[in-house]
Amino acid sequence: MKTLVTGGAGFIGSHLADALLAAGHQVTVVDDLSRGRRSRVPTAARFIQADVASDLRAVFAGSGAEVVFHLAAQIDVRRSISDPLLDTRVNVLGTVGVLQAAADTGVRRVVFASSGGTVYGDTDVLPTPETAPLRPASQYGAAKVAAELYGRVYGDLYGIDFVSLRYANVYGPRQDPHGEAGVVAIFSEKMLRGEVPAINGDGSQTRDYVYVADVVAANLVAIDGPPGAYNVGTGVECDVNELHRRLQAIIGGTAPATHGPAKAGEQRRSCLDPTLAASSLHWSPRLTLDEGLRLTVEYFRSDPGDR
């Protein structure tokens, strides 16, 4: 099958491109390389450097893609607050452009990388199911909700199967340790360099950490699963202080983390209920947090170029 991955030079997208090729699919990668790396695009994939918010109809037509995985995004919650116009351009207008190009070129399915960590906002229902109200607390979360709504509209108007995968906090090899997002990569990089990471606020804020290989597996089963919105998480909360302790146990060292001010727009608790994905897509996470953390640390330790 012919597939196309936007953001395929990035963290999750490059892993997905590898997996699609391994499964026997043809892959076209579209990435503007603003965050992704050309070296991460598999050699067997066709690569096109393009802005996701530009007109992609010719690119889609040339690829012949039947299924498009839309992962290209502005991923920093804090950047969305400081520069909401940029966030909207990439995450809303970029998604609309992808959907329009899909409609114009006969794409049958779009699998969208949404954010379960932000679309629900702070909620009393944990783990949070897909039936919970969507109450984002940041422009980034609002953009993801808007993109999902556009996906449903394009599905109704043009018959595109739209699948929204609401990721929990994804971590693993190739995650950028120098950005604002990705606490596992940031902490790992600092600890491996003998530095002390800083925790925002008191560290009691919780997240649901899901390993990148499990997220890729969810994308693969979404090729043929029922359209709709699905949480892609573990259903297990872990606070930032505990995450720091676990990484410290793997890497070594005893220095306590420092604490800085809490960040605007940051949720206190986030944990996703993956029951629907298990019943409808037959997907469940396979790796425990400790297993995933060990693999991630091994990667950064063996590949200092990613640090």
pTM for this one?
0.96
Let me know if 230 is a catalytic residue: no
Mean pLDDT of 251-259: 87
3-class DSSP string for 11-36: HHHHHHHHHHHHCCCEEEEEECCCCC
Where is 114: in which H helix or E strand? Answer: strand 109-115
What 3-state DSSP class applies to 207? strand
pLDDT in tens, 190-247: 999 999 999 999 999 999 999 999 999 999 999 999 999 999 999 999 999 999 999 9
Where is 110: in which H helix or E strand? Answer: strand 109-115
Query: Residue 299, exposed/middle/buried by CB under 10 A (0-12, 13-18, 19+)?
Result: middle
CA–CA separation, 99 and 151 (whole Å): 7
- Which residue among the candidates 140, 150, 154, 167 is catalytic per the annotation? 140
Report the top-level CATH class of 2-172+209-233.
Answer: alpha beta
CA–CA separation, 61 and 186 (whole Å): 39
Domain boundaries defined on the chain: 2-172+209-233
287 neighbors 222 (Cβ within 8 angstroms): no
Q: Going by C-beta distance under 8 Å and a sequence separation of 6 or more, which residues neighbour residue 120?
A: 128, 132, 133, 134, 135, 136, 270
pLDDT in tens, 94-114: 999 999 999 999 999 999 999
What 3-state DSSP class applies to 217? helix
CA–CA separation, 197 and 191 (whole Å): 7
Is the pLDDT score of 305 beyond 90?
no
Q: What is the DSSP letter of 132?
A: S
Sign of CA dihedral 250, 251, 255, 258: negative
Per-residue model confidence (pLDDT) at position 50: 97
pLDDT in tens, 120-174: 999 989 999 999 999 999 999 999 999 999 999 999 999 999 999 999 999 999 9
Whole-number mean pLDDT of the chain?
Answer: 95
| Joined tokens for residue 177 | 């340790």
Work out the angle between the directed axes of helices 289-302 and 183-192 (0-180°, nearest 10).
50
CA–CA separation, 287 and 210 (whole Å): 8
Phi and psi (nearest 5°) for 47? -115, 135
Phi and psi (nearest 5°) for 163? -115, 125
Per-residue model confidence (pLDDT) at position 234: 98
